[in-house]
Amino acid sequence: MTEAPPSALSHVSLGTNDFDRAVAFYDRVLAPLGIRRVMSFPGGVGWGRQFPEFWIQTPIDGRAAAAGNGTHVAFLAADRAAVDAFHAEGLAAGGRCEGPPGPRPDYEAGYYAAFLRDLDGHKIEAMLIEHAG
């Protein structure tokens, strides 16, 4: 039997109603996490560290993009400073706070995260789990 890849997901795509503004927003908020543009095509940009794991694009069907209720995308951060910078950059770029940077002990011991709404209303998070010792 072939061994499964280490990650469970290939990529996640979110729609936008203002492509250029959304791309500028994500360039800014993902940079502190070490995530950069790795692929693009007309109407779509993919970010990642090596592979395009997160995409923003205009909806293929031509209809308006809409945020999903209960849906959010979480990005892994290297440290608290990266989570804090993600949140600060998101607010400065026009995002809305959905939870300031801080510990989330109800999630898991050592869980540190910040939550934002992007310019289209999608909920996004930067997080890490700090292990004792």
Give the pLDDT confidence of 11-32 residue by residue, as tens digits.
Answer: 999 999 999 999 999 999 999 9
Torsions phi, psi for 125 (to 5 deg): -140, 145
Residue 10 has pLDDT above 80, yes or no: yes
**Cβ-proximal residues to 125 (8 Å cutoff; 6+ apart), any chain:** 72, 73, 74, 75, 99, 113, 114, 115, 116
Beta bridge partners of 105: none
* Domain of 42, in residue numbers: 12-59+71-129
Token readout for 118 is: 């992007």
Residue 58 has pLDDT above 90, yes or no: yes
Mean pLDDT of the chain: 94
Asked if the structure places residue 6 within a domain, the reply is no
Q: Which pLDDT score is estimated for 7?
A: 80
Asked if the structure places residue 7 within a domain, the reply is no
Residue 73 has pLDDT above 70, yes or no: yes
CATH code at 102? 3.10.180.10
H-helix or E-strand spanning residue 112: strand 111-117
Structural contact between residues 128 and 103, judged by C-beta atoms closer than 8 angstroms: no
Token readout for 40 is: 């693009």
Structural contact between residues 127 and 113, judged by C-beta atoms closer than 8 angstroms: yes
Mean pLDDT, rounded, for 89-99: 98
Residue 99 has pLDDT above 90, yes or no: yes
Whole-number Cα distances in Å, 100 to 90, 115, 126 = 11, 6, 11
Mean pLDDT, rounded, for 71-95: 97
Asked if the structure places residue 66 within a domain, the reply is no
Q: Which pLDDT score is estimated for 1?
A: 73
Task: Tell which residue, 76, 119, 115, has the closest CA to residue 99.
Answer: 115
The number of folded domains in the chain is 1
Asked if the structure places residue 5 within a domain, the reply is no
Asked if the structure places residue 121 within a domain, the reply is yes
Asked if the structure places residue 83 within a domain, the reply is yes
Residue 133 has pLDDT above 70, yes or no: no
For residue 16, the one-letter residue type is T
Asked if the structure places residue 80 within a domain, the reply is yes
Asked if the structure places residue 64 within a domain, the reply is no
